[in-house]
A and B are shown apart, each in its own frame.
Chain A
Amino acid sequence: MQVRVQEEGFDLGAESDGFAAGVSGAGAIVTFTGVVRDADGGGLEAMEIEHYPAMTQTALEAIATEAKTRWELADALVIHRYGRLLPGERIMMVATAARHRKHAFEAAEYLMDYLKSRAPFWKKEILCDGQSDWVSAKADDEAALERW
């Protein structure tokens, strides 16, 4: 299990290859990548991601550990960035490896649902016109946790 919190970008291909090379006996590998999308009305200049350094790594590891107890995972990887990101840049990725795809898919969804609402990150949208606003948590995201 690998959890990385970092400011710099990451190479999706290299991370996926490295993850796949490190697992044996897995018949399924699922990867998910989160990307900075434009603001709802357009005009996004940047996304600033703040986090709670003393807590982030531990919180992510706890979420990943829980996923490993719930599904038969050969391995899991979480990378999450912070700092100033531009539209189209990758924010984060998760990868899960399991013997069968159902476990890999479900565990990846679980990781995503918990990363959204239980990992100490906060996003701020900086618009080209100089306005900025913190992204609000969505009720749907909180509700998504209940299915697990």
Chain B
Amino acid sequence: MDVVYFAWVRERIGLPREQVETSAATVADLVVELSAREERYAAAFADLSALRVALDQELSDFDAALEGVREVAFFPPMTGG
């Protein structure tokens, strides 16, 4: 699936988008997988309360299942307006 990052999450991880091969069942499982990869991922995902997630461009949560999902986005709370 595609994983995309925005704002400081993108900066901390160092890339805007990547393809990830995963069998993670939920968003939280995916976060654990990514965090185990490298320190920059662990740093970005250190505090999940500071992060939001969208699945296929819809706001979701960390307990959500990933089955059938094509794009996961991680970003900080939004600051529009």
Could you tell me which A residues sit within 8 Å of B by CB distance?
34, 50, 52, 54-55, 58-59, 80, 91-92, 112, 115-124, 134-137, 142
Contacts and interface: CB of A to CB of B under 8 A. Distances in A.
Contacts of A92: 80-81
Contact of A112 (B4, B54, B81): B81
Contacts of A55: 54, 57-58, 73
B29 to A, nearest CB: 23
A124 B71 CA distance: 25
Interface residues of B, number: 17
Contact of B77 (A52, A91, A124, A137): A137
Contacts of B77: 117, 136-137, 142
Interface of B: 4, 6-8, 54, 57-59, 71, 73, 75-81
Contacts of B73: 52, 55, 120
> Which of B57, B73, B81 has most A Cβ within 10 Å?
B81
A2 B6 CA distance: 26
A80 B80 contact: yes
Contacts of A137: 76-79
Contacts of A91: 81
A124 B7 contact: yes
B81 A115 contact: yes
Nearest to B54: A55
Given A52-B57, A58-B57, A134-B8, A120 B71 contact: no
A119 B7 CA distance: 14
